Amino acid sequence: MISVQEAKKLIEESITALPPLQIPLAEASGFILAEDVYAPVDLPPFPQAGMDGYAFAYQQDIGFYTIVGEIAAGADQVPALNPGEAVRIFTGAPVPTGADTVVMQEKVKVDANRMVLMDPDLQRGQHVRPQGSDLCKGSLAMVAGQKLTPAGIGFLAAMGFLHISVYPAPRVSIVVTGDELQMPGQPLSYGQIYEANSYSLRAALKQMGIHSTLIHCVGDDLTRLQSVIHEALKLTDLVLITGGVSVGAYDFTPDACLQNGVKPVFHKIKQKPGKPLFFGMKGHQPVFGLPGNPSSVLTCFYQYVYPAIGRMMKQRFALHSTTAQIDQSYHKPAGITHFLRASLDGDQVNVRKGQESYRLQSFMSADALIVLPESCTSVQAGEWVTVEKIPV
């Protein structure tokens, strides 16, 4: 049995990023760019008008300009201008050859085809966006490792990219085990409980932007579980198994993993809840055997699976740590880390009622986990404690 810190270190050392994948740009927001991007075009690709007005070659000593046409955004036929000529132009339209300045339409006087400047502060080059002023063709536009924000997605689209190489989200299999489980919506017989863990896990994954999940439900049958894990390892990048990880007669998860070539990294952590957590690797594929109790499942997910998925995606998924004053006294044995479901209220953190691992209601109303380390045996009400905020 190892400590929480040792478990996290072993997971970090075991997991590597998934291979880069070309995905549609429209689906790439939030992912990490896997390669440097060089501009295939100038941005803007031609001199552009910065606003609605008139384009002309600026001359200080001229009384008026002759208006010889109009250029709208998207125009592909743009006449060259001679000195003393101007064109009506609109924002985003190409500035014609022979023009170097755009004056706002509100700062001119127009009489028939004559334009008189009424802007004493106008300077040469004003309101013209030079070709390549944002980015020159061939220059480095974005570097590998950048997170693709909405602005970054727009920037890539402006360069004409339709697909982009990123570190993708893992495809995840969720395997829930137990003869006692019944699917929601079906009649519940005596001795059965409704299966909830796959719903919690899938919701947590979706919150991370992971939508590719396969769900498998298996009874307490070693042969069947071995077959399901074999299939999950073929089809997905990450396998999460709930239940069957302790030392009971029907706890088949570790054996089923071993029979599928999963190399154990650790089994059991000095923590509550979630002590019997199993973690192993098959090649580069992580396999987590999570305890079956629903609060243990979510605690282990946020402590270990959440940051592991971050490493697979080249991202840092970690619970934000802070400190707050606990609202009540709490006692625990030394040598084991306790994670308490809690809710943050400013500088105070309130322990939720019902900390047993089978109780999910306390997790439903929690937005944080209080972390009481192995060395701690008690805390008093008002004492400052470490708190980790969980996504809600």
- What are the per-10-residue average pLDDT scores of the chain (392 residues)? 97 97 96 98 97 94 91 92 96 96 96 93 95 97 97 97 98 96 93 95 95 94 96 97 86 94 97 96 97 95 98 95 97 97 97 93 94 97 97 88
CATH 2.170.190.11 in the chain is located at: 48-129
Report the top-level CATH class of 4-18+169-312.
alpha beta
Other beta carbons within 10 Å of 162 = 10
pLDDT at residue 348 in the model = 98
Residue 181 in 3-state DSSP? strand
Q: What is the DSSP letter of 312?
A: H
pLDDT at residue 286 in the model = 98
Distance CA 70, CA 55 (A): 9
Read off the tokens for 314. 């080249």
Other beta carbons within 10 Å of 391 = 12
Distance CA 44, CA 81 (A): 21
pLDDT by residue (tens digit) across 252-274? 999 999 999 999 999 999 999 99
Q: What is the DSSP letter of 26?
A: G
Residue showing tokens 């200080």? 60
Distance CA 270, CA 333 (A): 11
Distance CA 194, CA 204 (A): 19
Report the top-level CATH class of 320-389.
mainly beta
CATH 2.40.340.10 in the chain is located at: 320-389
Residue 228, beta-bridge partner list: none
pLDDT at residue 251 in the model = 86
**What superfamily would CATH give domain 48-129?**
Molybdopterin biosynthesis moea protein, domain 3. (2.170.190.11)
Read off the tokens for 135. 């980015």
User: What does DSSP say about strands 163-167 and 32-33: parallel, antiparallel, or unpaired?
Assistant: antiparallel
Task: Indicate the length of the chain as a whole number.
Answer: 392
Computed on alpha carbons and rounded to an integer, the radius of gyration of the chain in Å comes to 31
Residue closest to 245 by CA, chosen among 258, 228, 233: 258
Q: Where are the alpha helices (DSSP H) in the chain?
A: 4-14, 150-158, 197-207, 222-235, 253-259, 294-300, 306-312, 361-364
Distance CA 240, CA 279 (A): 10
Per DSSP, the chain holds a count of helices (H) and strands (E) of 8, 29
Distance CA 258, CA 20 (A): 29
